[in-house]
Amino acid sequence: MKLNLSKDTAKKFMLYKNGLIEDYKFAGKEGVFDYIRQVSVLQYDPVDVCGKSPEILLNSRVKGFNKDMLYELLYKDRLVFDYHDKQMSILLTSEWKYFDRTRQRFFNNTSNKEGIEEFSEYITSLIREKGVLSSRDIPSDTKLDWYWGKTSAHRAALEALYLSGKLVISNKSNTIKYYDFAEKIIPEKYYFMEEPNVSDTEHFKWRIKRRIGALGLLWNRPSDAFLGISGLNAANRRLAFNELINGREIKEVYIENIKDPFYLLAEDIPMLEYVSGNGDLKPRCELLAPLDNFIWDRKLVEAIWGFKYRWEIYTPEAKREYGYYVLPVIYGTEFLGRVELKRDSKKKIMLKKNFWQEKGTKITKTTINALEKAIDKLAVMNGVKY
């Protein structure tokens, strides 16, 4: 039986699933891990204007979040790790073996590049001899052809070893990455387990379920939410969706005035029933990261909310509609607008450069206070004042 939802119920469900409405469901470092475990993947980007994207995301979901919590989970507790999923991402270490196909694909694509094998052997011998290394610790004047053009041989070889799973990021110092052998970092029970998905279809089903779970509702159409799933063309996507439906792992949902069906995880039906049976949910004001799971699919957000968002960081300044690093603002079940913030590390303050109110919204004393509180919370996370 298909489910029919009003847009209001769809909004409440997606917000509640993402921990963006009512009281915080997640708190402290344990809450950070619980949230990552719920959504499976956080997209990563090194740009840091008012916090990095996953930090801004976690700040909006986890009560009392600070940057050390994520760093410790990554590089001390080893419960999560850096790798490619939806582009560069933060993933559960327990899912290491699920990405064997990805590592093999990267190995096939990089191992035949001229000079890579030679420099890879050199780097692995250095790590065996000296331990954890960064690209700065490996002198080389040689340049190799790489994905984006000519780059230093040691940088290309380090990346090839990392992408193919021989090395992992052991720790970071600001933007500098330090590498070590994967078998030393990934716990044995995950490193040596058999790959769970035998066929490509099973693999695609697993990846799609994770992406649905990361948003709450997702449709079967071309979407940025499926970025990074190599080989997932329209036919493979359709087959995987059909098998998930027939296996009752996902449920088909229709939202008023939207033609295409949506899908949610079967395990999330009780959550949907909870928000459907409640009236107004307690509103919060939160700032969304540019690569926030919630807005991965810009067209989906526009279809349900009527909110158009584009990350203009790569847009020439003269063509920007808003700004370089602009965060969508959610209040309750609606987008209140968008805000451009910048951390001034020297003066230790957070600057609000601009705020654009969304058409049709009301700005009241309550919403202004809520927005100011949200900005202040982000400033605290960044170790500055607002």
What's the pLDDT at 13? 97
What's the pLDDT at 1? 67
What's the pLDDT at 286? 98
What's the pLDDT at 153? 82
CA distance 144 to 134: 18
Continuous segment of H or E residues that includes residue 199? none
pLDDT, averaged per 10 consecutive residues of the chain (386 residues), comes to 90 97 97 97 96 98 98 98 95 97 92 83 92 85 77 86 96 91 96 94 97 97 95 96 97 96 97 89 96 97 96 93 96 97 96 96 95 98 96
Average pLDDT of the chain, as a whole number: 94
Q: Is 288 exposed, middle or buried (0-12, 13-18, 19+ CB in 10 A)?
A: buried
What's the pLDDT at 25? 95
Taking CB atoms within 8 Å and a gap of at least 24, the contacts of 217-222 are 217/10, 217/13, 217/14, 217/253, 217/255, 217/262, 217/263, 217/264, 217/300, 218/262, 218/263, 218/297, 218/300, 219/260, 219/261, 219/262, 219/263, 219/297, 219/300, 220/260, 220/261, 220/263, 221/260
What's the pLDDT at 115? 79
Amino acid at 355: F
CA angle 283, 34, 213 (to 5 degrees): 75
Amino acid at 10: A
